[in-house]
Amino acid sequence: MEPLPHNEHDKPDFAPTAGSEAVEQSSQPELSPHPAQQSGIAFWVRDIAVAVIAAVLIIFFLYRPVIVEGTSMLPRLEDSDRLVINEFVYHFTAIERGDVVVFHYPRNPEESYIKRVIALPGDRLRIDHGTVWVNGKRVDEPYVPDGYKDYRSRVEEVVPAGYYFMMGDHRSVSSDSREFGPVERSLIYGKAVFVYWPARDAGVVR
């Protein structure tokens, strides 16, 4: 309700008493925030906005969302899992054994595969009834549970320079370097980093 206009006929017919103190206080003009406080809030909002924009740019330029198709990387990655891959990391660091990487399928570069790096260029690799040996040492593979193993063998070979030997974690169903051979470095374009959906699978890819 708007206040009524004040004139001499609108004067109250009672004098203010101790009980009318609240009325007198409410008639005082409200104090606006101090200029220094306003400036501090503005800087805080600006810093938050800059941080959010920087985070979005980093995500869009460093990471790329992809969808897993198939079951060759079970149990860690399920069909239709959504994850992000880092497309720049291998410009600064070396590909390592155990990395989960995305690459163009050697027989059809229009398709992409996601597999685990098992052996590096120059490594001596052999598979004995499903057990992987690299450079004469048995590879510990906790990411391959018993129910996902197979018992195929492969005679020892040396991975060519510039190539990487890939295998899926679900060994009994995976189409990988055991079939199409080692993958050339130029075909590898990203490292799997984090599953973000569905929530039950969310987490770092190891």
- Computed over every residue of the chain, the mean pLDDT equals 84
Domain annotation covers residue 77: yes
Percentage of the chain beyond pLDDT 70 is 78
The half-sphere exposure of 21 on its side-chain side, counting CA atoms within 13 A, is 2
Domain annotation covers residue 10: no
- The whole-number average pLDDT for the span 31-42 is 65
Domain annotation covers residue 59: no
- The whole-number average pLDDT for the span 130-143 is 97
- The whole-number average pLDDT for the span 106-118 is 96
Least confident among 39-43, 92-96, 199-203: 39-43
- Known active-site residue 112: no
- Known active-site residue 115: yes
Answer whether 0.85 is exceeded by the pTM.
Answer: no
Please report the pLDDT score of residue 47 as a whole number: 80
* DSSP H or E run through 83: strand 82-86
Domain annotation covers residue 48: no
Percentage of the chain beyond pLDDT 90 is 69
Query: For residue 48, what pLDDT band results from cuts at 50, 70 and 90?
Result: confident
Q: Give the C-alpha separation, 149 to 79, whole Å.
A: 18
CATH assignment of the domain containing 116: 2.10.109.10
Q: What share of the chain is helix, strand, coil (3-state, %, to 5)?
A: 25, 30, 40
Q: Is pLDDT larger for residue 168 or for residue 20? A: 168
Whole-number Cα distances in Å, 46 to 35, 41, 121 = 17, 9, 49
Domain annotation covers residue 15: no
Q: How many domains does the chain have?
A: 1
Check whether 102 has a pLDDT greater than 60.
Answer: yes
Catalytic-labelled residue, pool 72, 174, 177, 191:
72
Check whether 195 has a pLDDT greater than 70.
Answer: yes
Domain annotation covers residue 13: no
Domain annotation covers residue 131: yes
Domain that holds residue 163: 67-204
DSSP-H helix ranges across 27-158? 35-62
- The whole-number average pLDDT for the span 135-159 is 96
Catalytic-labelled residue, pool 26, 112, 115, 175:
115
Domain annotation covers residue 136: yes
